Amino acid sequence: MIRQPPAILWRIVVRLSLTTLVAIVMAYSWLWWKYHSVTEVMRDTYLIEQAIAIRNQVTVRPDGRITVDLPPIQTASYAESEGSLRFAVRLRSSGAILAQAGEPVGPAPEMGDGPRLYRSNPDGPGPVLMFGAAVLLTSPAGELVIQVEESGSDFDAMTRSLVERFAKEGGWLGAPFLLAMLLVSLVTIRNSLLPLKRLSEQAAAIGPASTDIRLPEAQVPREILPLVHAVNSALDRIEAGFRIQRDFTADAAHELRTPLAVLRAHVETLPDPAIREALVRDVDSMTRLIAQLLAVARAEALTIAMDEQADLNAIAVDVGTFLAPMALRQRRMIEVIEAPRPCLVTANAEAVFNAVRNLVENALTHAPSDTTVTVRVEAPASLLVEDCGPGVPAELRERIFQRFWRAERRKSGSGLGLAIVREIMLAHGGRVEVGDRPGGGAVFSLHFPDQGAQRR
């Protein structure tokens, strides 16, 4: 079994979903990283600003004592921070604390020229708990170090909750986007593939009897157009091949008619009546075969113009008149029952005449002597040929339409008549059916499509 690749639609849906997922994960990672780096910078800036603010408020009293006059809001924020925010002013040389707020700060960092950022862990080794900034102040009391420390937990908690909320609430923003994208792709692909479905239906109708069908190139997506072009030109070549074959059969049949006529004329001059009659019969059945072969070729090439019209009543009468002498010779009668009004169909009158003629010939052949063959026209567009013969058994009703098929090979007849009838009806977009006649016999019926219906 050939393993089919998955449907384009399915492939696109999977790929788009994956791409969107990757895009969302990447966007979130970037946001997460960015948020972290920004908060870190913000925290450090804040700590340095705090340290400088405190430095600006440091006053050295004449007695050497130090006071820090912070604005009340700032003082309150240190008091209410529950240990997460603290500061201290200490002597650089001895490290002695001269002023402080909140819990005790960690050891002073090595100071350089400018402000200094550091991390300290008041509880010994383990994760960093405090973030600190230190600045120097040169005062009459000596060099002072101002340290401001803040616990990272507040910042971390805030970051985490922000990111979590963002992921929970904002994360869903990706879902409608993905959904909209899938929906748009789905509709686009479905719409683009619609012409392909139509094309497949049309291609399914192409067969040996309908080689003139071409796939329409209008409204076909540009990607598929080369395929449609290729199929159409392949069909052109196939049709040309068929035509050559058909023409050959028609030409051969046509060319054989004259020598056969000459042969018959010669045979008729033979002195022995027994041999003469046997040979004439053979030549006649050969002539019939040639005529039927020509009719097959013509039926295959038949195309009906939209404006061609034929009246089934008139055709029934014509066939009846044409075959009446033959019927008389065979001691049978032909009855034509016309429809009350003209039965106009889009059809090639000559071809339909031939189809009906074949059916009536068959009926005359199979009907017993002294019976009547009925040609009945029924509105809106049907013609029936009824006989009182043996009828056609149900199991043979498909086979009798095959070329060269005959119930009795010994009897004369080429076995092409019903194949010609079927071909002609196909060309008209109609059908031929066989059934039982009430009271015994066969009914062959021709059904034409409603005016304007599609035909091959």
Binding site for Mg ion (CB under 5 A): 362, 417
The first and second tokens of residue 56, run together, are 């600006």
Rounded CA gap, 194 and 182, in Å? 18
- How do strand 372-378 and strand 333-337 relate by DSSP bridges? parallel
407 binds ligand ATP (CB under 6 A): yes
Among 416, 424, 432, 446, which residue interacts with ligand ATP (rule: CB under 6 A)?
416
Name the residue whose CB lies closest to Mg ion.
Answer: 417
Nearest distance, CB of residue 8 and ligand ATP, angstroms = 48
CB of 410 to ligand ATP, least distance (A): 11
The DSSP symbol for 141 reads T
The reply to whether 373 sits near ligand ATP by the rule CB under 6 A is: no
Phi, psi angle pair for 279, to nearest 5°: -70, -40
As measured in angstroms, the least distance from the Cβ of 416 to ligand ATP is 4
If the CB atoms of residues 70 and 293 are measured against ligand ATP, the closer one turns out to be 293
Q: What share of the chain is helix, strand, coil (3-state, %, to 5)?
A: 50, 15, 30
Which of residues 118 and 444 has its CB atom nearest to ligand ATP in the complex? 444
176 binds, among Mg ion, ligand ATP, none (CB under 5 to 8 A by kind): none
CB of 365 to Mg ion, least distance (A): 7
Helix (H, G, I), strand (E, B) or coil at 91: strand
Q: Which stretch binds ligand ATP (CB under 6 A): 105-113, 149-157, 306-314, 416-424?
A: 416-424
Angle at alpha carbon of residue 395, lines to 392 and 401, rounded to 5°: 65
- Residue 170 to residue 189: CA distance in whole angstroms: 30
Interaction between residue 144 and ligand ATP (CB under 6 A): no
Residue nearest to ligand ATP (CB): 417
386 binds ligand ATP (CB under 6 A): no
* Residues 277, 283: Cα–Cα separation, whole Å: 10
Identify what 246 binds: ligand ATP, Mg ion, none; CB under 5 to 8 Å per kind.
Answer: none
CA dist 405 and 414 (Å) reads 8
Using the minimum distance from each CB to ligand ATP, give the nearer residue, 242 or 405.
405
Stretch 332-371 residues interacting with ligand ATP (CB under 6 A): 358, 362-363, 366
Choices 30-38, 123-131, 348-356, 413-421; region in contact with ligand ATP by CB under 6 A: 413-421
What are the tokens at 355? 């189809």
Which of 413, 422, 427, 430: binder of ligand ATP (CB under 6 A)? 413
Size of residue set near ligand ATP by CB under 6 A? 22
CB closer to ligand ATP out of 155 and 405:
405
Q: Using the rule CB under 6 A, give the single segment among 10-18, 26-34, 218-226, 405-413 that binds ligand ATP.
A: 405-413
Residue number with CB closer to ligand ATP (333 or 407):
407
- The crossing angle, in degrees rounded to 10, of helices 8-56 and 152-165 is 150
Q: How far apart are CA 321 and CA 226, in angstroms?
A: 55
Measured from the CB of residue 403, what is the shortest distance to ligand ATP in angstroms? 8
CA separation, residue 444 to residues 161, 385, 434 (Å): 87, 5, 5
CA-based radius of gyration for the chain: 51
Q: Is 127 helix (H, G, I), strand (E, B) or coil?
A: coil
User: Closest Cα partner for 351 from 401, 384, 303?
Assistant: 303
User: 283 contacts which partner out of ligand ATP, Mg ion, none, CB within 5 to 8 A by kind?
Assistant: none
- Looking at beta carbons only, is 273 or 325 nearer to ligand ATP? 325
Select the binding partner of residue 292 from ligand ATP, Mg ion, none (C-beta < 5 to 8 A, by kind): ligand ATP
Residue 237: φ, ψ to 5°: -65, -40
Residue among 137 and 416 whose Cβ is closer to ligand ATP: 416
Beta-carbon-side half-sphere exposure of residue 401 (alpha carbons within 13 Å): 16
The answer to whether residues 105 and 149 touch, using CB atoms and an 8 Å cutoff, is yes
Q: Please select the residue that binds ligand ATP; options are 130, 418, 432, 446, rule is CB under 6 A.
A: 418
How far is Cα 184 from Cα 443, in angstroms, rounded to an integer? 57
Residues 431-450 that bind ligand ATP (CB under 6 A): 442
Ordered DSSP codes for 363-414: HHHHSPTT-EEEEEEETTTEEEEE--S----GGGTTGGGSTT--S-TTSS--
Place of tokens 């003082």: 75
Residue from the set 89, 417, 424, 437 that interacts with ligand ATP by CB under 6 A: 417
Q: Return residues touching ligand ATP (CB under 6 A).
A: 288, 292, 358, 362-363, 366, 387, 389-390, 392, 400, 405-407, 413-419, 442
